Structure 1
Amino acid sequence: MQQAALTITDATHETLIAVTQIYAYHVLHGAGSFEEVPPTLEEMRQRHDRVQTAGLPWLVAKLDEQIVGYCYAAPYRPRPAYRFTIEDSVYIAPDMQGKGIGYALLSALIARCERGPWHQMLSVIGDSANNHASLELHRKLGFCSIGTLNQVGFKFGSWRDTHIMQRALGQGDR
């Protein structure tokens, strides 16, 4: 029996149906995202369009033509001085976690962003006390810990921290 190949492609409005379902699971069952109400498909399409308008990638991972994860880069902050700093987001279908999909997605995202004008990539990891997989994924791909913002989010009846990690892109700090 042949093992299915994982492919990474650009997200489209059609793939956002699965993306919206994956993210809804994380919003409703995880504290990595501080959203409390899952966005609609139309809202996800608007988010996708903003990322595309900024010239940044939004990628999906497919296994046997099924979307099993996604990631994207977005502007870190709207002020002009931040224009070369971006922030990544990575979400994997709950039944596909721990299979290297996040690594494949984030690796592809970093490679794509290194071809652009961006200087630094940040990751703001929600529920950092419990989100060990995301912290480890980012460490494996060269992100360094910058610091923890203590008790900045309140979700599921508890205060949650966020942890900021940073990675140079291209020549970055050199």
Structure 2
Amino acid sequence: MNEASPLLQLRDYRPGDAAAIAAIYAHYVRTSVCTFDFEPPAAAAMAEKFAAMVKKGHPVVIGEVGGEVAGYAYASDFRPRPGYRFTCEDSIYLDPEMTGKGYGALLLGEVIAKARACGFKQMIAIIAGGIESSVRLHERFGFTTLGVFPNLGHKFDRWIDIVHMQRAL
């Protein structure tokens, strides 16, 4: 982490975090291909989604700087069928003002540890092609690229590849 960066405090998700999470996610919906959502979900929808993960015992980690939500990460169901119950997919989002400070690595490290502790055995990362910083981050944590699906998504009038990565927990 950059020594000039304020310290990121990690904690578990609380229902009051939903508005900040929705605001962070909305930025990426509007400006990035890292999500294929076209309309940002409301805070109530995010609260419902995150409450469902917490109810299942899945890790949802919040990163705070100065008492404000700076980012979040979670690991939850890769697929809904019971045969996939030991496999999770991770997701990490940072406030755009908080990128480049090492916070993504802190969040990913914590969510990996918590996913292992709750019984997941494999973690999948699904990353839009061209987002090399996310690919490199996952490689630093032992993920390997399984394959690239060309032109799998479409957003902002262009086709986007999808990179699938995996690591054992």
Distance 1:39 1:91 in 2: 15
- What's the counterpart of residue 79 of structure 1? 81
Counterpart contact for 1:147–1:163, Cα < 8 Å = yes
Gaps of 5+ in 2: none
- Unaligned 5+ segments in structure 1 are 170-174
Cα distance in structure 1, aligned partners of 2:115 and 2:153: 29
- CA distance in structure 2 between the aligned counterparts of 1:137 and 1:16, rounded to whole angstroms: 25
Aligned counterpart, 1:153: 153
Residue in 1 aligned with 2:91? 89
Distance of 2:75 and 2:16 partners within structure 1: 19
Deviations 1:1-46 (A, max 9, x none): x963210111111112111100000010010101111011111011
Partner of 1:18: 20
Are the structure 2 counterparts of residues 154 and 118 from structure 1 closer, same or farther at C-alpha, using a change threshold of 3 Å? same
Which residue of the partner structure matches residue 100 of structure 1?
102
Deviation for aligned residue 1:55: 1.1
Aligned-pair CA distance for 1:152: 1.0
Q: Does residue 1:134 correspond to 2:134, yes or no?
A: yes
Query: Residue by residue, what CA displacement relative to the aligned partner does 1:54-74 show, whole Å, maximum 9, x if unpaired?
Result: 210111110111111101111
Q: Counterparts of 1:57 and 1:114 in 2: how far apart (Å)?
A: 10
Q: Percent identity?
A: 35
How many residue pairs get matched?
166
Structure 2 length normalisation: TM-score?
A: 0.95
4+ aligned runs moved over 2 Å, structure 1: 2-5
Which residue is equivalent to 2:7?
5
Q: Is the 8 A contact 2:89 2:124 kept in 1?
A: yes
Return the alpha-carbon distance in structure 2 between the equivalents of residues 14 and 76 of structure 1.
26
Does structure 2 retain, via aligned residues, the 8 Å contact 1:54–1:75? no
1:115 to 114, 117, 122: 117
The aligned residue for residue 64 of structure 1 is 66
Once the two structures are TM-superposed, the CA of residue 150 in structure 1 deviates from its matched residue by 1.1
- The amino acid that maps onto 1:5 is L
| SS of residue paired to 2:15 | coil
Q: Report the aligned-residue RMSD.
A: 1.2
